Every structure is written in structure tokens, then in C-alpha cells.
Structure 1
């Protein structure tokens, strides 16, 4: 059996999340179906991280095992020809059998996109979150710096989160305005269930002027989910991708292109 890694991009609007579940339309199930046709046998893919219903990915990374003799190009072209237009492999390459899409990752990054205009957009529906009231991106950025470091993120953790520990290391977080958009970029070693969406919903309270900048640090210290803001809508979230040690020679996550400067 050979092991392969693949980079996958997708729009999550039409799917019930990443994980294959009986009776649900999921990205994992569609990808396994398409890869299985190329391999001519059933196979299972393991992802760097699960995404919720409606969440998108610029470069999800998966691994799978197969004894089918196929070139990297054949895997890529054949799989994409069996996928819907909203899911696509970016690349495929053979990797050592010890590579693991989830356990080998050393960093993960996300982008959250808010369309901050009074009127909603017909073209951006399902691809951004919409907030009609003006947001102060500079205040959101300042408040967010309290979340950098190896910290207890219990206040930003979903009640259904299965992680044995709330400790995570956020290495950088940035909030900036780009025209009608407010963009949050965050990177860390790993993330709790709904952590990025809960952080975003909390920072929005600051951006709206409902809470002071110092409030976010107080929310973090409380270690209580009820003290934080709302869970921001799924459609604004993009999994930019994971990074791996250089020994695996995998493509790095793409530079997010949406929205532009």
C-alpha cells in the first residue's frame, strides 16, 4: 500500500460539513467516492481538521492509502472529473507511510470574512458573513491581541467540543478592514470546536462599540463560554490550511485571495 497526500479546496455551502455521516451530504463522502472510482476500490481519507456545515477550505489536506498504481497526475485529474464543481483537488503527491494529515501538522490557519455593508450582497451569499452596522476593525485587532499565546480557551469552546484540553497556542491574529470587508486571520497549533467563530463573534461586540477593548481579555480569563459573544455564522469561515515539517515537502497553504486589498 502506498500513502498519498492531497490538497482540497471547497465551498461548504451545500454540504453538512466535512465528516462522512450516514444520510448526510458531506465533503469527505464525496471525496472518498471520487477517489474510490479512480482507485477502483473503496478507500478512506483522513483530514487535517474537520470543518462544520457551511465552512469553506482553501487548502484542506488529507491522506489516503491505496495499492492502485496511478501517477499523481492521474489521481488529480481523475478525481476532479468525478467531483462537483464546488470541490476540487489542488494537488496530489506520494508521501512516506508515516505521514498523517492531522497528527503531522504543526500549524493551522483560518480566515473569517465579514461583509460590512448596510445592504446584503446577492453575489456573496453563503461566502461571507454579513453585518450591516459599521465595525471598528482597529479596535477588534487591538482586543484580539489578548488571545495570542498558549492559553486556556474555555470561553471560546463549544459545549460539544471533544478535546481533552482547552489549551491552545494562538501564534498570530490580525483584524483589518479591506473596503467593505472586515477580515480576521488567525493561526495556531490547533483549534477547539467553534473556537474561531466564537472569537469572531466576541470581537464583533468590540467592533460594534458594545464592549471595550479590554473586555476580550476578561472573557478569556473567565474560562466561561457564557461570558463570550455569539458564534459567528459558518459561511464567513475559511480553513486556509495546515503546515507541515519541511521533510514532507508539501505545498504550503495558499495566500488567501479573498477578499482583495
Structure 2
């Protein structure tokens, strides 16, 4: 078997024109566009095993997405100095590969990750979102109180069953540990929620944001989002916030490369129930 090199890719994209990350036969997706461009540059099927840290939904953006793929060592040696620029010329302008780095073969972009961090941007300005930022900022029609938003967020931090906030999938767990959830108001007036967890189930972040926003504008008590954690099925009272306000900004990995395999093994045990498929995250 030919020797292969595993590459870690740093990827950014504007999710507006994509039907999410995962390749779909009849839809434009980030993975589909990236795979097609790699085939064009390197030859069909030369790059294999494209695996992403977080499979973002349709309309969700990324500035800190991570994925990995494998190349024959000889191909990498022949393209190493120019592959990034060739991809920049051929990829559409709404997706960029920002870096390509060789990593140990046991690095797994998905299962070696220790956390994913997202930001959600909202404006409560009476005129709505600035035109140049309309694709990444949600315009909220009511004034929002930063203290109320943070009080609502505090009740959601920690390890919980987030079934009320997830689209349940067969064989999938909704147990997650949220290690950070807070809001800030930037100098330009935008409200930004930062949420970090070991992993997320589908639509979880946007559901959390939707629940906090109605507490932040005073229509629900600040205890309400946290009170839903006692439920064991999705809550019909929670409105999922629109996708365009959400951006994946960072994915964390062990500092020591020797820990990649150990972390991946531990994550698989936690996230892949016996007899079932892998869980979103």
C-alpha cells in the first residue's frame, strides 16, 4: 500500500449559499464543493477520507472549521508548496481553505476534538441589521437586555440532557456538557452569544439561542430556558433561531499530539452507542 499523509485543513465559509456541510447528490454543500475542487486539482479520488469536526446545517457559517483528509505521500510532496494557492484560485469565493498541515495518522478532526465553539450574532437596533452584515446577523424586533440574556444562559451551563433543545435521532444521545455560554454587547451594538461544548446535537445551539432571546426581551422569565432541561423530548415551545446568525468559530484539540488517538477512542465510546450510527457533533 502506498504511504499516505494525513492533512489537517482549516476551513472558512459563508454558509448562505450552501445546504450545510455534508455532501448531498442534488444540493450545493461545503463538502461537495471542496471534494470536487480537490478532484480537479489532484485527480479524481486521490484525496480520501474527508472528515469534518462539525457538520454545520444549511445557512450556518464557519471561520474556524477543521477537517482532515488523506493523500498519497508522493502527491503531497509534489503539491505541498502550491496546493493552498491552487485551491484559492479554483474554489468559489464563499469557501476558503486557510491552512493545510500534516498531522499524525491518528488525528481525527471529529473524534479527537475536545470542544466546538460557536458565536451567534443578534442586533436589536430599531432599523435592523446593517446591510453588509445581514447574512451573519439576526435582526431582533424587540429590545434585548444583556443582564437577562446572561441570567438565562447561566441556567444552561453544565452537563445536562438537552433533549428539549435537540432534534432527536435514533440511537443518539442528547447528553452534552456546555462549558461556556454567555452574551456580550460589542461596541457596535451587536449582541454576541458564545457557546462552547464537547459536542452538539442537531439544531441545539440555535434552539438554545431561541429560548434565551425570548427571556432577553422579557417575554419569558430567565429561569424558563433552564427549566426545560427536565424534559426528555423536544419542546414545541422553543423556536429555533435562524441559521444565518450562527458561526462556528473554533474547534479544540489536545495540545499533545500523542493524545489524539486516546481522545478519539474516548469520544467514540461516548458518542457511538452499540449498534447505532455516530452521533452529530
Q: TM-score, normalised by structure 1?
A: 0.90
- In 2, Cα distance between equivalents of 1:103 and 1:162: 20
Q: Does 1:47 find its partner at 2:52?
A: yes
Runs of 4+ in 1 over 3 A off after TM superposition: 70-73
**Contact map agreement 1:4 1:92 (CA 8 A) in 2:** yes
Find the counterpart in structure 2 of residue 193 from structure 1. 202
Find the counterpart in structure 2 of residue 103 from structure 1. 111
What displacement does 1:224 show? 3.7
Find the counterpart in structure 2 of residue 69 from structure 1. 76
What displacement does 1:162 show? 5.3
For residues 50-73 of structure 1, what are the alpha-carbon distances to aligned partners after superposition, in whole Å with 9 as ceiling and x for unaligned?
Answer: 011110001110101111134544
3-state DSSP class of the match of 1:69?
helix
- In 2, Cα distance between equivalents of 1:58 and 1:247: 24
Q: Does 1:164 find its partner at 2:157?
A: no
Question: 1:38 and 1:248, CA in 2 relative to 1: closer, same or farther beyond 3 A?
Answer: farther
For residues 112-152 of structure 1, what are the alpha-carbon distances to aligned partners after superposition, in whole Å with 9 as ceiling and x for unaligned?
Answer: 01122122332222211111211112111111111111111
Q: Does 1:122 find its partner at 2:125?
A: no
**Contact map agreement 2:146 2:183 (CA 8 A) in 1:** yes
**Contact map agreement 1:173 1:185 (CA 8 A) in 2:** yes
Quote the RMSD (CA, aligned, Å).
1.7
Q: Does 1:13 find its partner at 2:13?
A: no
For residues 25-75 of structure 1, what are the alpha-carbon distances to aligned partners after superposition, in whole Å with 9 as ceiling and x for unaligned?
Answer: 111011112222332232341100101111000111010111113454422
Find the counterpart in structure 2 of residue 258 from structure 1. none
Question: 1:163 and 1:141, CA in 2 relative to 1: closer, same or farther beyond 3 A?
Answer: farther
Question: 1:227 and 1:214, CA in 2 relative to 1: closer, same or farther beyond 3 A?
Answer: farther
Give the stretch that moved more between structures: 54-63 or 110-119. 110-119
For residues 154-188 of structure 1, what are the alpha-carbon distances to aligned partners after superposition, in whole Å with 9 as ceiling and x for unaligned?
Answer: 111024x4562111011111112224311100111
- In 2, Cα distance between equivalents of 1:187 and 1:101: 17
- In 1, Cα distance between equivalents of 2:80 and 2:222: 49
Q: Does 1:244 find its partner at 2:259?
A: no
For residues 82-108 of structure 1, what are the alpha-carbon distances to aligned partners after superposition, in whole Å with 9 as ceiling and x for unaligned?
Answer: 111111111101111111110110111
Find the counterpart in structure 2 of residue 34 from structure 1. 37
Gaps of 5+ in 2: 259-281
- In 2, Cα distance between equivalents of 1:134 and 1:244: 38
- In 1, Cα distance between equivalents of 2:213 and 2:26: 35
**Contact map agreement 1:219 1:227 (CA 8 A) in 2:** no
- In 1, Cα distance between equivalents of 2:253 and 2:16: 28
Find the counterpart in structure 2 of residue 60 from structure 1. 65
Find the counterpart in structure 2 of residue 146 from structure 1. 155
- In 2, Cα distance between equivalents of 1:110 and 1:163: 25
What displacement does 1:202 show? 0.1
**Contact map agreement 2:228 2:235 (CA 8 A) in 1:** no
**Contact map agreement 1:63 1:101 (CA 8 A) in 2:** yes
- In 1, Cα distance between equivalents of 2:238 and 2:148: 16
Mark the structure with the bigger radius of gyration.
2
Q: TM-score, normalised by structure 2?
A: 0.83
